[in-house]
Amino acid sequence: MSGPRPVRLPEHIVEIVSDAGEGAQKAAIAFAQLCAKAGNGLWTVEIIPSEIRPPPHTVGSASGNRIRLAERSQVTNAGNLADVVLAFNEMALLSRLEAGSLADDVLVLIDDQWATHDNEQYQRSYREVIDTFRARGATIVEIPMQAETLRHVEDAEQGKNMFAVGLLCALYNKDVKLLQNVIRGIFEKKTREVIETAVKLAGAGYEYGSAHLEQRFEIQAVPTDVPKVAMNGNTALALGAVSAGFEMCSMYPITPATSASHELSSIFEDFGGFVHQAEDEIAAIGVALGASYAGKTALTITSGPGMALKTEFQGLAVMTETPLVIVDVQRGGPSTGLPTKIEQADLLHALYGAPGDAPKVVIAPSTIEECYYILSVARKIAEEFRMLVIVLSDANLATGQQLFDRPDVSQTPRRPPLDLSPVPLGALPYDWDPTTGLSRRLIPGQPGGMGVTTSLNHDRNGKACYDAERNQRGHDMRSRKLAALQQTLQPPSVHGAPEGDLLLVGWGSTRGAIEEAVDMARAEGLAVSSVHIQFLSPLPPGLHDIFAGFRKIITAELNYSDDWEDPLITKENRRYGQLAWILRAATLLDIDCYAKVPGRPYMPVEIFDEIQRVLGDQPGIETLGETLRALKGAI
C-alpha cells in the first residue's frame, strides 16, 4: 500500500452512481460486502430509476447505492449527507445533488472520459456540472475509469464497475484480496472467464487508486465473534416467512414488494412450501385466505395499490375470523405514485381500508432485523386470535441492507400437524369467549364440525342472521379481540429521558433516523426523547403515561401533512400525518407532526433541524449542510 496516510473516521457515507445497467448496483453490493466482512457496521439504500433502461446519460437514469459504513457494528439508518460520491458520468452525479443527498464538500470521484468525449454536448455538461460542484466546495478527482478499464477488456461496460469498486477499496484502505474473494462469491454462477476478469479489474482499480488518490480514509472495524448477516428487508421477510412455518405465499408482482417473493420462490419448496403467483392481487389474497380457511395460515405480500385491491377480502377475513397475514411493503402514493421510493402512507388504509367495521392487527417492523422476526409474531397472533394481521414494511427496509446478529435457526419451533380430531356434532364455529371474543377454529376434515363459514353477519352457530342484537354481538366479539391482544402488550420504551420538552413519536423504518436525531439533540443539551410504536393496532398500553412527561409531542413520519404556513390551512382544516391522526384520536392530546413525502428516508439531521425549530431555538440555519458543519464545529 502506497500513498498518503489514511484519515481515521468513525463513519462515512459513500454513494456509487452510474447509468442504469452500468453496474453501480453490483459495485456497491461488492463494496458493502467487503465492509461487512471487514467488520464495519453498515446500512445501504438503493438508488433506483423507475424504468429498466431509461435514456442514458440523464438525471433520470441514475442507478446505484448509498452505503453508510461505521466503526460501530450497529448502523440504524442511511445517515445524513454523503461524504464521497463515485459517479460514472456527470448526470448521475448531478442527480444526487438534485436529490439533496450530498455534502457541499463532498469528495467526487468521476470518470473523466466525458471531458474529451466525441459528443460535444457531453463535454459541455461535464464541465458545467464539475464547475457547479467546485463552486459548492466539492473536491473533484477525475479518473480515467473508461481508459483504464479498456486496458483490460474490450468493452468497458463489462467491468468498469469492478474497476470502480477497486478504487473504493484503495480509498478506504481495505484489503484487496478480501475484495477479490467477495467478487468471486458474487459472480459464482458466472463463467470462470467472467469471474477472473472481474477480479483483475478490481485489482487494477485498487492499484490505480493506490498510486494516484491523494485521499485515504480508514473506518476501522471492531472485530466481533458474533456472526452477522447482511441482507435487505425483503430477504429478511422471506427467510422470516420460512422460519415462521408458513407453507404458502400467494402473491402478485408489485414494486417494491416482489423481491421478497423472488427469494421465497427460490428456496420455499425445499422447506415444504411454495409461492403461488396469482392472476391478480385479488386472487392472490383469495388463494391465501382459502389456504388459511383450510387450516394452513398463508401469507400474501403486496404494496399500496395491491392493498387497495385486497380490501374486500380483508373484510372477509375479518368477518369469518380466518387467520391471515398480509405484508404491505409501502411505496409512494396515491395511485402508481413513486413505485420504487419510500413512503409510510398506508397506515390509515391498513387500519380503515376495508368497508364496515373491520378490526385487525397492524404491526410495523422498524429495522431489517425485525423484518426477519415479525412474521413469526404475525402468524402467532393471526392464529391465536383468528385475526387478520397486516405487517407494514416499506421501500426503505425492503431494499436497504443492514448488518445484524445472525438469527439462531436452531430455535425454530416445530410445525405441529393439523389437529383434525373430532368435535362433538354441533360444535360452535364461533364459540366466543364473552370477555375476550376468542374462539376455537374448526378446520375442514374435522368430524363433527361441518357448517358454513359465511361473509354474512352470523351468530355463534355460524348461521346467517340479520337482527340488531346478533349483529351488534358479532361486532362486539370481533372488536373485543383487539382489546384482549392489547392487554398482553408491553408499554414501549422511551429513547432518552422519561421527561422533557419534546417527545418524538415514530413508527416503522424511521426509527434509526429519529433516535439518532434525538441523540444529536440531547448532545446539544436539548430535552428531547423519542418513542417508537410497533403495534399500530391495537396501540400499546402506557402511551398516556409516557406522553404526560413531555411539554410537546410530535410524530415524525414519512407521509403527507399540511404545513401550518401553507395557504388556506387553519386549525380546522389541517390534515396531519397518519400516526398523528391516530394518536390525536386515541389520546385527545394536541399532537403535532413532522410529516413529509421526500421519497427517501429521513436524514437524522433533518429531524434534528425540526427538533430545533419546534423548540424555538433554531439558530437561523439555512441548509442541512450548515447544520452539520455547526455540529461538527461544536464537537
Applying the rule CB under 8 A, the residues between 342 and 381 that interact with other proteins are none
Buried b / exposed e along 177-198 (16+ C-beta atoms within 10 A): eebbebbeebbeeeeeeebebb
* The only residue of 51, 128, 279, 476 in contact with other proteins, by rule CB under 8 A: 279
* The only residue of 293, 385, 535, 608 in contact with other proteins, by rule CB under 8 A: 293
Quick one: 12 or 37, whose CB is closer to other proteins?
37
Distance between CA atoms of 360 and 319, rounded to whole angstroms?
10
Distance between CA atoms of 269 and 206, rounded to whole angstroms?
42
Asked if 261 touches other proteins (CB under 8 A), the answer is no
Asked if 339 touches other proteins (CB under 8 A), the answer is no
Supply the minimum distance, in Å, between the C-beta of residue 277 and other proteins: 11
CA distances from 479 to 24, 346, 455, 483, 484 (A): 50, 21, 16, 7, 9
Asked if 28 touches other proteins (CB under 8 A), the answer is no
Footprint (CB under 8 A) of other proteins, residues 414-433: 414-415
Quick one: 36 or 141, whose CB is closer to other proteins?
36
Supply the minimum distance, in Å, between the C-beta of residue 176 and other proteins: 18
CA distances from 567 to 251, 298, 563, 573, 574 (A): 43, 47, 9, 11, 11
Residue type, 142: E
Residue 55's region, left for phi above 0, alpha for psi from -120 to 50, else beta, is beta
291 near 264, Cβ under 8 Å? no
Q: Can you name the residues that pair with 504 across neighbouring β-strands?
A: 530, 554
* The only residue of 98, 105, 280, 433 in contact with other proteins, by rule CB under 8 A: 280
* The only residue of 119, 412, 472, 487 in contact with other proteins, by rule CB under 8 A: 412
Asked if 464 touches other proteins (CB under 8 A), the answer is yes
| Interface characters, 431-450, with other proteins (x: CB under 8 A) | -------------xxxxxxx
- Tell me the residue length of the chain: 635
Torsion of CA 92, 178, 77, 88, to 10 degrees: 0
| Interface characters, 139-178, with other proteins (x: CB under 8 A) | ----------------------------------------
Helix 160-171 vs helix 24-38: crossing angle, to nearest 10:
30
Distance between CA atoms of 45 and 66, rounded to whole angstroms?
5
Quick one: 290 or 542, whose CB is closer to other proteins?
290
Quick one: 353 or 449, whose CB is closer to other proteins?
449
Supply the minimum distance, in Å, between the C-beta of residue 453 and other proteins: 5
Q: Mark the segment that binds other proteins (CB under 8 A) among 48-56, 197-205, 280-288, 533-541.
A: 280-288
Look up residue 611 and give its three cell numbers. Answer: 427538533
Nearest to 612 by CA among 488, 486, 520: 520
Q: With the C-alpha atoms ordered 131, 141, 78, 517, is the resulting torsion angle positive or negative? A: negative
# chain residues binding other proteins, by CB under 8 A: 71
Quick one: 256 or 429, whose CB is closer to other proteins?
429
Q: Can you name the residues that pair with 326 across neighbouring β-strands?
A: 300, 390
Quick one: 123 or 376, whose CB is closer to other proteins?
376
Footprint (CB under 8 A) of other proteins, residues 312-331: 312-313, 315-316, 320
Supply the minimum distance, in Å, between the C-beta of residue 321 and other proteins: 13
Footprint (CB under 8 A) of other proteins, residues 562-621: none
State whether residue 364 is helix, strand or coil: coil
Look up residue 56 and give its three cell numbers. Answer: 442514458
Look up residue 477 and give its three cell numbers. Answer: 366479539
Asked if 289 touches other proteins (CB under 8 A), the answer is yes
* The only residue of 178, 282, 484, 489 in contact with other proteins, by rule CB under 8 A: 282
Q: Mark the segment that binds other proteins (CB under 8 A) among 112-120, 142-150, 400-408, 580-588.
A: 400-408
* Beta-sheet strand order (sheet of 299-302): 274-277, 248-251, 299-302, 324-330, 388-394, 361-363, 535-537
* The only residue of 107, 145, 291, 307 in contact with other proteins, by rule CB under 8 A: 291
Supply the minimum distance, in Å, between the C-beta of residue 512 and other proteins: 19
Distance between CA atoms of 446 and 429, rounded to whole angstroms?
12
Quick one: 203 or 462, whose CB is closer to other proteins?
462
Quick one: 21 or 39, whose CB is closer to other proteins?
39
* The only residue of 288, 514, 528, 543 in contact with other proteins, by rule CB under 8 A: 288
* The only residue of 118, 214, 270, 622 in contact with other proteins, by rule CB under 8 A: 270
Quick one: 8 or 415, whose CB is closer to other proteins?
415
The two most distant CA atoms of the chain are separated, in Å, by 86
Quick one: 319 or 583, whose CB is closer to other proteins?
319
Asked if 453 touches other proteins (CB under 8 A), the answer is yes
Q: What are phi and psi of 59, to 5 degrees?
A: -60, -40
Footprint (CB under 8 A) of other proteins, residues 34-93: 36-37
* Residue showing cell 480515467: 144
Look up residue 326 and give its three cell numbers. Answer: 398480509
Quick one: 171 or 285, whose CB is closer to other proteins?
285
Asked if 491 touches other proteins (CB under 8 A), the answer is no
State whether residue 597 is helix, strand or coil: coil
Supply the minimum distance, in Å, between the C-beta of residue 254 and other proteins: 16
* The only residue of 454, 471, 486, 587 in contact with other proteins, by rule CB under 8 A: 454
Q: Mark the segment that binds other proteins (CB under 8 A) among 22-30, 454-462, 541-549, 598-606.
A: 454-462
Asked if 189 touches other proteins (CB under 8 A), the answer is no
Q: Is the bond preceding 256 in cis, omega lying within 30 degrees of 0?
A: yes
Distance linking the first and last C-alpha atoms of the chain? 32
Asked if 273 touches other proteins (CB under 8 A), the answer is yes
Residue type, 138: A
| Interface characters, 219-258, with other proteins (x: CB under 8 A) | --------xxxxx---x---x--xx---xx-x--------
Nearest to 579 by CA among 497, 496, 503: 503
